[in-house]
């Protein structure tokens, strides 16, 4: 009889503590699932922001390249005009043409 009472008490207390452990594990699982869902949402937001920034970067880069190309063309036209004027003014003086072109462009000819 004492053995049966002891067995019943052990079973009762062990069942109660195991039920509490199961409930705690379920609560942890629910918490982890909520955290994972929150992280997935934040990850999606970060990806969207990154894609938006990349698009803005590409657009800005294209605008800069377009402006650079336009400036380069304008500069090239202006330089050609200046070279034409130098050649026209110096006519038969090749040394003077060379000197003025060297001064204009900042380089030295190989002659």
Reported as a single tens digit per residue, the pLDDT across 63-104 is 888 888 887 777 677 777 777 777 777 777 777 777 777 777
- Kindly state the average pLDDT of the residues 15-33: 82
**The pLDDT of residue 111 is above 60:** no
Using CA atoms, how far apart are residues 19 and 22, in angstroms rounded to an integer?
5
Which has more pLDDT, 19 or 38? 38
Cα dihedral value 8, 12, 14, 18, nearest 10:
150
- Kindly state the average pLDDT of the residues 20-36: 88
pTM above 0.85, yes or no: no
């Amino acid at each position: 009889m004492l053995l049966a009472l002891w067995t019943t008490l052990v079973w009762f207390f062990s069942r109660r503590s195991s039920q509490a452990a199961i409930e705690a594990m379920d609560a942890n699982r629910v918490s982890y699932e909520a955290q994972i869902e929150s992280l997935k949402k934040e990850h999606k937001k970060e990806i969207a922001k990154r894609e938006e920034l990349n698009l803005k970067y590409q657009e800005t880069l294209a605008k800069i390249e377009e402006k650079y190309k336009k400036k380069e063309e304008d500069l090239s036209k202006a330089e050609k005009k200046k070279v034409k004027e130098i050649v026209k003014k110096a006519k038969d003086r090749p040394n003077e043409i060379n000197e003025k072109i060297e001064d204009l462009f900042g380089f030295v000819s190989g002659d």
